[in-house]
Structure 1
Amino acid sequence: MDPFSVEGELLNIHSAFHSGSYQNVIDFDTTTLSPENQLPAQVLQLRAQIALGQYDESLQASDDIPDLSAVKALALHSAGKSDAALQLAQELAENYPENSTVQVLAGTVLQAQGHSEEALALLSKHQNSLEAVSLTVQIQLQQNRTDLAIKEVQAAKRWAQDSLLINVAESWVGMRVGGEKYQSAFYVYEELASAPGTSAPLSIVGQAVAEIHLGRLPELIANSIVLNVLAGKNTEELESQLQQVDPSHALLVDIQEKSEFFDTAAAKFSAKVAS
């Protein structure tokens, strides 16, 4: 069974992980999952911990299970233990090349440490693994082999047309190709932003990059304002910039309406206290 399949019981946790909602993945109740889905879910939860800088549990993972050893290799790399991570990744690639978790996680370590061809060779052994396709496309784009990345995405769409990962991978390719593909990429990130459980910063950054290429400065500034609000940062300067380029922008109108509503409510509260 492909542990990264979006079918069945793993759909929610899988989608949450790949949209960047790592804490939701960690908090996911896996007790109701069938026995065959317990290990894939555990792998996703450990990877979510690694993404948040929490390595302890993954570094202590069992060496008897290839999937967990692959997680350990990723944790070692993320924790700065590059030599140990590379050695383990190469051992796993040699001994368990058909394991889809090994393909993706050992492949990630190999690519991160400059062993791109080894990573691609390992990933090429996948059997309809969405993550293997996604990582392959990333590597090919880094190698400036857009032609190969396009072929990889087109081939995957034959069996995973509506997959989140494939759609996002296609948007990466679109960003590289340019032209009308910028708009297509924007739509992907816009849809991602509206999906339940999605990590807003992830999708907003994607939209912002597309907006830059499309020359839509007001929308880029508006996205930056929302992103700063989510990060708890001051937005006055960005709001001023948006006011200059598009005074009637919907976000500014919304901010003004909410400000006026707050002032009205505050005035009523103050009057009641004064009496």
Structure 2
Amino acid sequence: MDAFSDSGELYTIRYQFYTNQHNKVKSYSLEEFSEENQLKVLEFQIRSTIALNQDASQLIEQGKSRFPDNEDFFQLLQAWNDLHDFGTDDSTHFEDLKQAHFELQAILTSLYLVKFAKDIDQSINFLTGYIDKLNNLQKYNEIEVFLILIQLYFIKGNFKQATAIFKVLNSFPDFSRDNIIYQIIESWYISIQNGTDNVNNSYSLYDEILSNGYSDDDVQGKVHNLTVLLVLTLQLKHYPEAQEVLDQITTLTTEKSADLIANQITLDRLVNHGQGTKELLTELKKVDAGHDLIKDEESKNAIFDAIVAKYQTV
């Protein structure tokens, strides 16, 4: 039986990991799982710990002792942990990787190239090179690499390639697509197609995720998914509901991500005629001066200034 199937023992923990319920993921004991699945559980737990901005070194050391034949695997996770702890990887682990030899290596290196090296194109090339070497069965079982790749194409605005990847995924057998990873990919894809039905379908997925027993400890994950709901609600032009979602977020946390502030600016312009936009833009610059919305604003201002200069009388 497939451990990730809806009757398999990894189904729930995978769902929780990819829906950002990281404290729940951490709460399991390895002894709750069969020996053959314990390494995957530990991977989820280590990655969840790092996602929560916590040091995973102790878990990694325990893993090295428990699974001594997986040295490369734990070296990779230690390098990923060090990046988040210290902001740099003294071992140059990721810079030295020219190609991935296993799934997690492809995933974390591609994320490194985006987050730390700021090179989306190289990340796409790295992932594509890895995927091209997989046989069909490996592709069916390593769907997270497609999750990252299609997201990168969305970020680049390359919807043609994103569509091509989505079509490839749709050709996979049912067992490969019957999971939360595919559902997330599908929700992204259909939401960019616009249309009320498409956006409503995406909204329903995240609404279901949030209704599916989020613990009070998983505030970070809840805020993340509420932020997605905020975007979808704005797409639907349901502005009062968007304000309600925003109010929910502000009751959960005082820390606002750049994307949340950007969407707050959008809502402010739509509902309040931009009365609070100047202050929000200042806040956004403090959080992420290189955010796309800041770049768009600067570009618009430059165009406006050029037009004014062109027609200015001396």
Q: Bigger radius of gyration, 1 or 2?
A: 1
The alignment status of 1:177 with 2:193, answered yes or no, reads yes
Q: CA deviation digits over 1:65-120, x for unaligned, max 9?
A: 222222123223323444547x31354554xx341222212222233321322243
Counterpart in the other structure of 1:89 = 94
Deviation at 1:178, TM superposition (A): 2.6
Distance 1:144 1:121 in 2: 21
Of 126, 129, 133, 1:121 maps to 129
Distance 1:6 1:75 in 2: 29
The alignment status of 1:66 with 2:72, answered yes or no, reads yes
Counterpart in the other structure of 2:228 = 206
Deviates more, 1:187-196 or 1:32-41: 187-196
Change (3 A) 1:108 1:232: closer
The alignment of Structure 1 onto Structure 2 pairs a total of residues equal to 231
Change (3 A) 1:202 1:215: same
Alpha-carbon contact 2:22-2:49 (below 8 Å) kept: yes
Specify the SS of the correspondent of 1:79. helix
Alpha-carbon contact 2:46-2:59 (below 8 Å) kept: no
Tell me the percent identity. Answer: 19
Counterpart in the other structure of 1:195 = 212
Alpha-carbon contact 1:43-1:67 (below 8 Å) kept: no
Runs of 4+ in 1 over 6 A off after TM superposition: none
Change (3 A) 1:124 1:192: farther
Alpha-carbon contact 2:223-2:249 (below 8 Å) kept: yes
Change (3 A) 1:56 1:9: closer
Distance 1:111 1:58 in 2: 27
Ranges in structure 2 where 5+ consecutive residues have no aligned partner: 216-220, 256-266, 272-314
Distance 1:59 1:32 in 2: 17
Deviation at 1:42, TM superposition (A): 0.9
RMSD, matched Cα: 3.1
Q: CA deviation digits over 1:16-72, x for unaligned, max 9?
A: 111111111111122121122111111111111101111251796559522222212
The alignment status of 1:215 with 2:237, answered yes or no, reads yes
Specify the SS of the correspondent of 1:23. helix
TM-score of the superposed pair, with normalisation by structure 2 = 0.64
The alignment status of 1:108 with 2:121, answered yes or no, reads no
Counterpart in the other structure of 1:138 = 151
Change (3 A) 1:137 1:33: same
Counterpart in the other structure of 1:150 = 163
Alpha-carbon contact 1:74-1:108 (below 8 Å) kept: no
TM-score of the superposed pair, with normalisation by structure 1 = 0.72
The alignment status of 1:166 with 2:204, answered yes or no, reads no
Specify the SS of the correspondent of 1:167. helix
Distance 1:139 1:166 in 2: 16
Ranges in structure 1 where 5+ consecutive residues have no aligned partner: 234-240, 246-275
The alignment status of 1:225 with 2:225, answered yes or no, reads no
Change (3 A) 1:118 1:145: same
